[in-house]
Amino acid sequence: MEKVDISQDFQSAIGKAADVLLAGGVIAFPTETLYGLGVDIRNEAAIRRLFTIKKRSDSSPVLILIPSVEFLAQYVDNLPPVALRLIELFWPGGLTLVFKAGSMASPLLTAGTGRIGIRFSSNPVATSLARAIDSAITGTSANISGKPACRSAQDVLDCFGENVDLILDGGKTAHSVASTVLDVTTDPPRILRQGVVSREQIKTCVSNVEDFG
């Protein structure tokens, strides 16, 4: 395991992390909310390893981070008009949208639900990583499932040790909560997880929003 301070040489750090991703490795990196665990979503062996590291049930979906909005069409089967309004207002940022998954989204990521959570991150590290490998990467929080999420590189090291191949140290995250997850496959859209984007903010462009449960 290697820890790299991105403030020293950003491009070199991104390049090193991209090499690890393309080789099937698992990296930890800061996002606009918490630290995430990233693998190349084209590599199913890497996705399986991610589940093992997090001790995550294979019945739990994993969200992905895209290099740009233009990549969205590769991973979704349908783009409802409400999603376009939400994207315009909240992307890049801390809102994860759940879509009907397209054929390029591995069933491992959807946990057999046929739906995929996607975010275009406002954090330059997360987005640069995806752009560096020209593919979406996983953006699941860096934590053992059911345990508190990591907010710093040291948290990641304490949690995972050698199980993660590379940690990009971007300091402590600004937030202690995850992204908000909003399902746009239903009408009205449904909040599956409340996070940094509030229900009130979402209602500025969506008149009716259901809460989970």
Q: Sheet containing 95-100: which strands, arranged edge to edge?
A: 137-138, 64-65, 115-119, 95-100, 180-183, 190-193, 210-211
* pLDDT level of residue 212 (50, 70, 90 thresholds): low
pLDDT at 176: 80
pLDDT tens sequence across 184-202: 999 899 999 999 999 999 9
Sign of CA dihedral 50, 44, 115, 99: positive
pLDDT at 13: 97
* pLDDT level of residue 150 (50, 70, 90 thresholds): very high
Task: Give the residue, 108 or 208, on which the prediction is more confident.
Answer: 108
**Domains of the chain: total:** 1
pLDDT at 213 over 60: no
Helices (H) and strands (E) in the chain, counts: 8, 12
pLDDT tens sequence across 130-142: 999 999 999 999 9
- The enclosing domain of 125 has a CATH number of 3.90.870.10
DSSP state of 148: P
* pLDDT level of residue 208 (50, 70, 90 thresholds): confident
Overall average pLDDT of the 86-102 stretch: 96
pLDDT at 206: 85
* pLDDT level of residue 73 (50, 70, 90 thresholds): very high
Q: What is the mean pLDDT of the chain?
A: 93
pLDDT tens sequence across 23-61: 999 999 999 999 999 999 999 999 999 999 999 998 899
Please state, in angstroms and rounded to a whole number, the distance separating the CA atoms of residues 204 and 208. 10
Distance of CA 123 to CAs 24, 104, 119, 149, 191, Å? Answer: 23, 24, 11, 17, 23
The SS3 of residue 165 is coil
Other CB atoms closer than 10 Å to residue 193's CB: what's the count? Answer: 15
118: Cα within 13 Å, side-chain hemisphere? 33
Query: Could you list the residue range(s) of the whole structural domain that residue 133 is in?
Result: 2-211
pLDDT at 209 over 80: no
14: Cα within 13 Å, side-chain hemisphere? 16
Please state, in angstroms and rounded to a whole number, the distance separating the CA atoms of residues 33 and 93. 9
